[in-house]
Amino acid sequence: MSGKPKRIGVLTGGGDCPGLNAVIRAVCKTAMFDYDLEVFGIEDGYLGLIQNRIKPLTSMDASGILTRGGTILGTSNKANPAQYAIGYDENGDPRFEDVTDRCLEHLRHHHIDALVLIGGDGTMSGAAPFIEAGINCIGCPKTIDNDLVGTDLTFGFLTAVETATEAIDRLHTTAMSHHRVIVVEVMGRNAGWIALHSGVASGSDVILIPEIPYDLGKVCEFVEERSRWGKRFSLICIAEGAKSVGGEQVVAKIDPTSPDPVRLGGIAEILADDIERVSNIETRAVILGHVIRGGTPISADRVLATQFGHHAIEVLMNGESNRLVVCQDMKITDIDIRKAANKQRMIPADHPLIRAARAVGTCFGD
């Protein structure tokens, strides 16, 4: 397939993230107003592509959605055309089928010759068979965790940090009044960007991230020393994927008398129990969970999402193929979509923000 597209499809895949609608809006408006393209919305990510739930979008669909959380297109987490779950075999194991051809037929039926894919790792790697089949796939990276290789910043991240920071601000006053330790768990299974940024922004006393395994003894010592200085409270901001030194990440404790592992709480609850036991200071755990993934994006994310969506169409109409829109050194640019997939950007140990945080007295548990 060659030449510039006349009709494009757009889909959102993976978890919720503030700014998805802002990207959709910019994709639609740029495509319609600037290039007179027809835009089709594919419902619920790749699932809609598989099930032929594809509908034309008008400029009215893209209007009034900039400030709204979620995605007007819907999303799905696991649908992958190359390996689509179609039931179970006689042993109860899931059976998969490659439904790429069916998807391609649906695209051909609607005369769609390019796709804008707004999603994470899974969505980008799912594009491979379509790229092979000649569909121009332009990606807009979506990860609230900000851990994608190739881009300094992804939309949604700053909103997640802001929501987490506001919550920690609230907990701060409670910790102070009660002379308590409060452990706040934020998202971040592999990379600790949200914990690092919201920890610094909220003035958390301890920040624990997957990249720096923590020593329980050092955390307790720090908390006790604060208490001795007259600071009878501490805020600990911990990423869900934080690990203690020498040990595996403890997401479950095995009950030796039971055949199945029993989940006894997340890392925040485990750490809170540990601190209370070791330091004998009243400690509480709070898990922010999905609250920081949803809702209206803050202004910085609306701006970034608008630029991402706009750039996706620019790239397309410049005749380029299979690019991923990224932000490097505060500039919007693009890289090969196949380069980004399945790699994660971890926080290096000497990251300037870690150094700044240490300098103002933050403990990283190491």
Choose which of 251, 252, 264, 346 interacts with a copy of itself (CB under 8 A): 264
Least distance in angstroms from the C-beta of 191 to a copy of itself = 16
Q: Would residue 145 show up in a list of annotated catalytic residues for this protein?
A: yes
Positions in 137-176 near a copy of itself (CB under 8 A): 152-153, 158, 161-167, 169-174, 176
User: Of 121, 145, 147, 334, which is the active-site residue?
Assistant: 145
Is there binding between residue 250 and a copy of itself (CB under 8 A)? no
Q: How far apart are CA 178 and CA 10, in angstroms?
A: 50
Positions in 213-242 near a copy of itself (CB under 8 A): 231
Contacting residues for 79 by C-beta, under 8 A, at least 6 apart: 13, 44, 45, 46, 47, 50
In this complex, which beta carbon is closest to a copy of itself, that of residue 13 or of residue 126? 13
DSSP 240-286: TT--BTTS---S-B--TTSSS-B----HHHHHHHHHHHHH---EEEE
Give the torsion sign (CA, 259, 264, 266, 270). negative
x-or-dash string of contact with a copy of itself, 105-144, rule CB under 8 A: ----------------------------------------
In this complex, which beta carbon is closest to a copy of itself, that of residue 230 or of residue 246? 230
Least distance in angstroms from the C-beta of 134 to a copy of itself = 26
Is there binding between residue 100 and a copy of itself (CB under 8 A)? no
| Rounded (10°) angle between helices 352-359 and 193-201 | 40
- The count of C-alpha atoms lying within 13 angstroms of the C-alpha of 317, restricted to the half-sphere facing its C-beta, is 17
> Is beta strand 181-186 parallel, antiparallel or unpaired with respect to 283-287?
parallel
In this complex, which beta carbon is closest to a copy of itself, that of residue 44 or of residue 135? 44
Least distance in angstroms from the C-beta of 329 to a copy of itself = 4
Which residues are tagged catalytic? 145
